[in-house]
Structure 1
Amino acid sequence: MKRKVFYFVLLLLNLGITHISFAQKKTVLSHYHLWNTAIGDVQLHNKFYFNSELHLRFTSQCEGFQQYLFIPGIKYAHSKGLSIAAGFTYFKNFPHGKSPLPIALSENTLWQEVTLSNKVKQYSFFHRLRFEERFTQRLVISETGNTGTDGRIYNNRFRYRCLVNRPIALKEKVYVMAFNELWINIPGGTTNLSLNQNLFYLGSYYQFNKGLKLGVGLMHQYLNRGNELAESNCMLSLLCLYKIESRK
């Protein structure tokens, strides 16, 4: 009972904080993108897994990269309802959209996370709590107007994702999946407590076997870019989920 109450409180936190920054008066830009994601686990030994994510994100016309991310990590599956992980993210953001960066900027991030899961009838819930230590390239503009980078800016960020899925057809081969994720800036460095971004996803996937799932969905991103500017972006998302277990 206590565990169910805890999960319910997490869900309310996610839904409640989502709109903190939405009411502020800002200029809101809109973009449309294509996001491709591959996420997988490779079993190393017993409950230890090498986890990796690869994100290739393209501009609305698929003329070039919007962003790409590589996220390796090590995960320990303590039980069916609890896993912990730690890893590294390399992220590069390219000039794109209606208010583009003058040059491409990269970010190196260390992260630690806990994932809790539970099941209610046919619904499977996953709650991921992640803490990040971010090292983002500092953009500088010279007196002559030239742009470049000078070192890195350090900030922290907290993320909470609530994901739910359930089978809907073909003898539990086809699933519907939805998630909402909050990204919250932690005070310190150059940031104050604020909503960095919010992601909402709705889609479905086909489970070919225990180790491979392919899915497609739509995603909405609210991205807070300061006191006066924000983005409201829509993406088509293509997803590959895989799991490779060692043979016993």
Structure 2
Amino acid sequence: MKSIFKYVLVLVPLISFAQEDIKSYSAWNSLIVDYMISPKFYVENELHFRRTNFFSDWQQFIARPSIHYKVTKGVKIGGGYSYIKNYRETIDFQENNVWEEVVLSSVYGKSSVKHRFRMEHRFIETVLQDNTGGFSIGDTEFSNRFRYRLSWTIPLVTVTEDKKLKLAVFDEVWLLTEKGIVPRSLNQNWFYVGLSYPLIKGGSLGIGYMNDHGPIGNSNHRSNHILQTTFKYRIK
């Protein structure tokens, strides 16, 4: 377990920074709301408002409703739908995908660890360029993508019995599987470190730094440096 955390905390960000060729700076803001249907079932909706050039321009808008079931204390399964609007200087395009996931969680002392395995089935609009340099939307293409996220949280400061400032770290690998399920290539890697604090009953605010790193072509790499804020609220 210690070797895993050393990889997440040290090796991944070092690789990302060492290989960045094209830099960008963004501000991503998220709202995540859960509603408990029963002790086992809950529904969730995520809204993501992503800006690039820090706050200047739109990068993405995502709406992601889903349903989840707690199989045991440490095992959860779920599935959902994502609507994604991608903003570009040339022409905006959309993606619709459906996905399923398995989440394994465990506790080690005061810290908690989660492993999330998610498979996405993506329907993406293609962008076409004509002879005059104009752009238009073409056919919709289908592909699959596999995502694995390793998360770690630990309380740092106890303000009251039910209010604790927590450190949160995760690394997520995105693998393209094309039309099958076998990984073919690396799509991107996310590394995040931040703090979370319960502002109100059932609601917490997280803020931190995330690096979105990935290949471009055969040799270049992009690196997006992101200020990320997330407000989570659970309705029981």
**Structure 2 counterpart of 1:48:** 41
Task: Write the distance in 1 (CA, Å) between the matches of 2:195 and 2:20.
Answer: 33
Alignment CA distance shift 1:27-1:38 (3 Å) = closer
Question: Deviation string for 1:221-247 (max 9, x for gaps)?
Answer: 1022332443111111111111111xx
- 1:11-160 matches, cutoff 5 A: 11=4, 28-95=21-88, 102-160=90-148
**Within-5 A mapping of 1:169-248:** 169=157, 170-171=159-160, 173-188=164-179, 193-208=184-199, 211-245=202-236
Aligned length in residues: 226
Q: 1:88 to 1:78 in 2, by over 3 A?
A: same
Summarize the Cα distance change of 1:60–1:144 in structure 2 as closer, same or farther, 3 Å threshold. Answer: closer
Shift of residue 111 of structure 1? Answer: 0.4
Query: Which TM-score applies when normalising by structure 1?
Result: 0.82
Q: Distance in 2 between matches of 1:136 and 1:224?
A: 19
SS for the counterpart of 2:21 is strand
Equivalent residues of 1:173, 1:208 under 8 A apart: no
Greater Cα offset, 55-64 or 112-121:
55-64
> In the aligned structure 2, how far is the partner of 1:80 from the partner of 1:108?
31
Native 8 Å contact 1:27 1:228 kept in 2: no
Q: Distance in 2 between matches of 1:32 and 1:156?
A: 28
Asked whether the equivalents of residues 20 and 223 of structure 2 are also in contact (C-alpha less than 8 Å), the reply is no
Query: Using the alignment, how far apart are the partners of 1:127 and 1:241 within structure 2?
Result: 19
**Cα drift, residue 215 of structure 1:** 1.5
TM-score normalised per structure 2: 0.86
Q: Which residue of 2 aligns with 1:98?
A: none
Once residues 74 and 212 of structure 2 are traced to their aligned partners in structure 1, the CA distance between those partners, rounded to angstroms, is: 28
Distance 1:143-1:60 versus aligned 2 partners, 3 A rule: closer
Distance, in Å, in 2 between the alignment partners of 1:116 and 1:135 is 28
User: Which digits, 9 at most, give the CA deviation of each residue in 1:26-52, with x for residues without a partner?
Assistant: 882101110101122111234111111
Alpha carbons 2:146, 2:183 under 8 Å: kept: no
Q: Report the identity percentage.
A: 34
For 2:198 and 2:141, the matched residues in 1 are separated by: 41
Q: Which amino acid aligns with 1:138?
A: T
Q: 1:113 to 1:192 in 2, by over 3 A?
A: closer
- Long gaps (5+) in structure 1: 1-7, 96-100
